[in-house]
């Protein structure tokens, strides 16, 4: 992954494996500083000046609300002008232009491309292709098929980090990941990031058909990380420090297999939440369906709306890092 690094910092952002603990801590500190500056007099005006000379293309060919708006807000926060393509039928792809040519067009007009595509590996492929042309710009993976979602994982860990500041940080915690774990790219990426830390315990709670993929199990075994597969969420709740809920990813169904699952066993309501520790947290990458009852939102352990807001600050921090501008914050 060395070709993703230039001048000592990340250039393309493709995989959670690119983020080692020191870099995560740096990004978390930058996100904290961005938050602090936005609360100061004229802070927002200063932030908008930092990257006002940059332009970003948001190329989202897979439906997205949170990730798209989060990146859009992050760009606006640090002064980056944006354009977007969200419906290929309104672009030259409708005329038969290939995606490859379309992305090469973007690289001529913009300083970076944030990309979400339903095809696994497409972001990496385009990064290689643009590098080979000699007209490369940074590409940030905003979600790639069922395989990776690195910036979602970063904001997940940032939320955990903030929540556990007074409890020794991310280490020595029990994490439960619940729901469609086979097809949920957010879980996959977050597990890769968390597995860098020591003394963790993972519990994967899912129907057998939607348990974590064998390669993720192999990764945990190689690192010697303790984990268990389970179908009983209620039994585990009293012992967990973090419960990460997910929805059924039935957009990937081949023959309606999601309809065969009693998903109520993998859901949270107020009665179940009361069994959790008082200082535990509940996360969800959103959107949700019925897996978290709306009444749970008012519980202080529910931090998924904070998790959502954190995405804007973390992605702004990442943009500052990619463009080598994070040091500018010290000027304020």
* Residue 101 pLDDT: 83
Question: 34: which strand partners?
Answer: none
- At 192-210, the pLDDT tens digits run 999 988 889 999 999 988 8
Question: Catalytic: which of 12, 30, 61, 116?
Answer: 116
pTM of the full structure: 0.92
CATH topology of domain 2-148+309-320: Rossmann fold (3.40.50)
Question: Catalytic: which of 35, 66, 219, 328?
Answer: 66
Residue 246 a catalytic site member:
no
Residue 146 a catalytic site member:
no
What would the two tokens of residue 271 be?
A: 């009665």
Residue ranges covered by each domain of the chain: 2-148+309-320, 150-307
CATH assignment of 150-307? 3.40.50.1370
d(CA 232, CA 294): 22
Q: What is the mean pLDDT of the chain?
A: 90
- At 291-318, the pLDDT tens digits run 999 999 999 999 999 999 999 999 999 9
DSSP 212: P
Residue 67 a catalytic site member:
yes
* Residue 89 pLDDT: 66
Residue 149 a catalytic site member:
yes
DSSP 291: S
Residue 277 a catalytic site member:
no
* Residue 133 pLDDT: 85
* Residue 255 pLDDT: 67
- At 31-71, the pLDDT tens digits run 999 999 999 889 999 999 999 999 999 999 887 888 999 99
Burial of 224 (0-12, 13-18, 19+ CB in 10 A): exposed
Q: Do domains 2-148+309-320 and 150-307 have the same CATH topology?
A: yes
Question: Catalytic: which of 54, 146, 149, 301?
Answer: 149
Low-confidence ranges of the chain (pLDDT < 50): none
Question: Catalytic: which of 30, 61, 67, 246?
Answer: 67
Question: Catalytic: which of 2, 95, 133, 327?
Answer: 95
């Amino acid at each position: 992954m060395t070709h993703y690094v230039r001048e000592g910092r990340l250039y393309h952002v493709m995989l959670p494996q690119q983020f080692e603990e020191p870099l995560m801590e740096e990004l978390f500190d930058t996100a904290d500083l961005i938050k602090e500056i936005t609360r100061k007099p004229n802070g927002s005006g200063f932030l908008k000046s930092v990257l006002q000379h940059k332009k970003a293309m948001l190329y989202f060919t897979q439906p997205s609300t949170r990730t798209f708006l989060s990146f859009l807000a992050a760009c606006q926060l640090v002064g980056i002008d944006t354009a977007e393509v969200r419906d290929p039928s309104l672009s030259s792809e409708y005329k038969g232009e290939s995606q490859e040519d379309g992305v090469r067009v973007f690289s001529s007009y913009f300083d970076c491309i944030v990309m979400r595509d339903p095809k696994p590996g497409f972001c990496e492929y385009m990064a290689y292709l643009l590098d080979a042309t000699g007209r490369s710009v940074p590409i940030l993976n905003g979600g790639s098929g069922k395989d990776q979602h690195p910036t979602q994982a970063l904001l997940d860990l940032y939320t955990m980090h903030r929540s556990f500041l007074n409890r020794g940080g991310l280490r020595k915690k029990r994490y439960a990941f619940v729901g469609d774990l086979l097809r949920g790219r957010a879980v996959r990426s977050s597990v890769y990031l968390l597995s860098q830390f020591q003394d963790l315990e993972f519990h994967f709670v899912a129907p057998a058909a939607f348990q974590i993929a064998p390669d993720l199990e192999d990764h945990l075994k190689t690192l010697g990380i303790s984990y268990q597969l389970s179908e009983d969420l209620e039994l585990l709740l009293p012992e967990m420090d973090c419960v990460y809920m997910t929805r059924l990813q039935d957009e990937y169904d081949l023959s309606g297999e999601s309809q065969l699952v009693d998903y109520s066993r993998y859901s949270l309501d107020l009665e179940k939440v009361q069994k959790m520790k008082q200082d535990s947290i509940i996360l969800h990458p959103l959107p949700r369906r019925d897996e978290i009852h709306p009444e749970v939102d008012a519980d202080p352990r529910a931090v998924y709306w904070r998790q959502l807001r954190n995405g804007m600050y973390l992605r702004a921090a990442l943009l500052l890092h990619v463009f080598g501008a994070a040091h500018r914050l010290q000027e304020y």
